[in-house]
Amino acid sequence: MTDVAIIAIDGPAGSGKSSVSKQAARALGYGYLDTGAAYRALAWHVLEQGADTADSAAVQTAASDFPYAISLDPDDYWVRVGDADVTDAIRDPRVSGAVSGVARVPEVRVQVNKLFRALAAASDRPGVIIEGRDITTVVAPDAPVRILLTAAPEVRAARRAAEVTEQDAAAVAAALHKRDASDSSVVDFLNAAPGVEVVDSTDLDFAQTVDAVLGVVHEKLENADGR
């Protein structure tokens, strides 16, 4: 899709795809694109306008005027909507609870997928790791490296609870399972498509997971260069 090397990583909530992808990007000298941030930022944008993210018409209206920008630098990460820095705001529980409504709108997914491809193509780095959902199948199906990063549901819930210390662990787990169920009706992020490598981090720590991902990247890129 571009002269920039693309590493496509899919995975469910709590799989570690954001932190692992960011660290892998650092190791490779690549850019890092968090696609979930766009849906979160759009949910924030809808809420700021006093609209309901369950209203697909309102979501599409907000998306038609969505001045979105994101950094692809893994060491200088920021997200903006117009002049507002929403890097922290999009992680607020009210946004997390609303983002699925935004992501379920097909027209929005088409719009942001085009945005993701444009952002990656414009990178001044030799490659970009794009992580999120349906990256390996829709956003970058021809990427030389496509990975599904996953883990057992209870492990993902425990990791997410550790990240969000101000919330009850049971509530975090319930929210994660609810989001999995909701989002899986839109895109399959739990099963690897043909040609997609699976990295299961259930029994791996963070460093081991990063190494496993980098191992797949190096192997795939070497094989691609050798063809």
The enclosing domain of 200 has a CATH number of: 3.40.50.300
**What residues are designated binding site for ATP?**
11-19
pLDDT at position 204 over 90: yes
The strand pairing partners of 84, in sequence order, are: 81
pLDDT of residue 32: 98
Does 199 or 13 have the greater pLDDT score? 199
pLDDT at position 79 over 90: yes
Q: Which domain holds residue 105?
A: 5-226
Alpha-carbon distance of 136 to 31, in angstroms, equals 17
Give mean pLDDT, residues 121-145: 94
Please state, for a pLDDT cut of 70, what percent of the chain lies above it: 85
Q: What is the pLDDT of residues 89-108, one digit of tens each?
A: 999 989 988 998 999 899 99
What is the chain's mean pLDDT, rounded?
A: 88
Q: Residue 42 — very low, low, confident or very high, per pLDDT cuts 50/70/90? A: very high
Q: Which residues contact 156 (CB under 8 A, 6 or more apart)?
A: 12, 13, 14, 15, 176
Helix ranges (DSSP H) in the chain? 17-28, 36-48, 56-63, 93-96, 99-103, 106-121, 153-163, 169-183, 206-226
pTM: 0.85
pLDDT of residue 159: 77
**What residues are designated binding site?**
11-19
pLDDT of residue 1: 45
Q: What is the pLDDT of residues 24-41, one digit of tens each?
A: 999 999 999 999 999 999
Give mean pLDDT, residues 172-194: 62
pLDDT at position 158 over 60: yes
Number of domains comprising the chain: 1
* DSSP helix/strand/coil, 2: coil
* DSSP helix/strand/coil, 214: helix
pLDDT at position 43 over 90: yes
pLDDT at position 202 over 50: yes
